[in-house]
Amino acid sequence: MGKRVLVVGGVAGGASAAARIRRLDAEASITVFERGEHVSFSNCALPYYLSRTVEDKDYLVMMTPEGFKASYDIDVRTNNEVLKIDRNRRMVLVKNRITGEEYEEAYDELVLSPGSAPIRPGKIEGISLPHVFTVRNVTDIVKLDSYVRQAKSSNVAVIGGGFIGLEVAENLKEAGMNVSVVEAARQVMAPFDQDMSQILHKELSDHGIELILSDGVKAITEEKVILNSGREVAADTVVLAIGVVPETGLAKDAGLEIGETGAIK
């Protein structure tokens, strides 16, 4: 019998690793566990569903569990979360998030690719209100999209002027919303030089997006975002795009080393 390989996480890292392992080893038994509803989706295209540049949410998903089975003989289990790693017994404890059932699986090799989660700072008042969204996966973007369309939201505040914040802002504007971008730094897109970011500031302004720089969020209410400066931004929908934090809980719990950036080494 071939080696038993388990992969935790089924998006860019996990799905690619599983496919690569199959190419290297025709005999291996490969299982991918993904906590979410989908594997192998196009994160990069998510914001473009808001404007229907990507017309159908199904186009966001590149590969299904059935496709993995048929093309690579890989067993992909969505809605299945790995809760614990027992390195001595070479076992993982898995929870089926649909049935609630917990079960163990043995491994010879274990690949961790749990990615990173959007930051949601606990200390901001109103951060858990139902109209405050983050964007990581297909489920998130469909939720945000349904909310803005069904609630007939008109004013959206996007917090964070990085790649994801600007893409979300662009596409919500395209979808007909009034969009404000709030950025704590003096410019959007931190990796760019200041003079280059001025071009982006003008582009946002030319498209009618309100840009607020050098200010942060103090509190969120149902109708507005209150900034540190005291300024208030009308918002019936808020999207947080202020960065991500590596998912290291499983690895730390298993005694694995964490690197200097705070991710799994």
Binding site for ligand FAD (CB under 6 A): 8-9, 11-14, 33-36, 43-44, 46-47, 81-82, 113-116, 135-137, 164, 247, 250
Q: What string of H, E and C letters represents the secondary structure of 33-96?
A: EECCCCCCECHHHCHHHHCCCCCCHHHHECCCHHHHHHHHCEEEEECEEEEEEECCCCEEEEEE
Which CB atom, from 162 or from 216, has the smaller least distance to ligand FAD?
162
Residue nearest to ligand FAD (CB): 115
| Known catalytic residue at 142 | no
DSSP label of 136: S
Which CB atom, from 97 or from 218, has the smaller least distance to ligand FAD?
97
Which CB atom, from 105 or from 210, has the smaller least distance to ligand FAD?
105
Query: From the centroid of its chain, how far is CA 177?
Result: 22
Look up tokens 């802002």; give the residue.
169
Q: Alpha-carbon distance 24 to 63, whole Å?
A: 20
Which CB atom, from 9 or from 65, has the smaller least distance to ligand FAD?
9
Min dist CB 141 to ligand FAD, Å, is: 7
Min dist CB 118 to ligand FAD, Å, is: 7
Min dist CB 226 to ligand FAD, Å, is: 26
Sheet holding 217-220, edge to edge: 217-220, 224-227, 232-234
DSSP label of 122: T
Which CB atom, from 158 or from 227, has the smaller least distance to ligand FAD?
158
**195 by DSSP, 3-state: which?**
helix
Min dist CB 230 to ligand FAD, Å, is: 31
Min dist CB 36 to ligand FAD, Å, is: 4
Catalytic residue among 2, 3, 44, 186: 44
At 35, list the tokens: 């906590």
Type of residue found at 105: E
Q: Are 15 and 89 in contact (CB under 8 A)?
A: no
Q: Are 239 and 135 in contact (CB under 8 A)?
A: yes
Active site residue ranges:
44
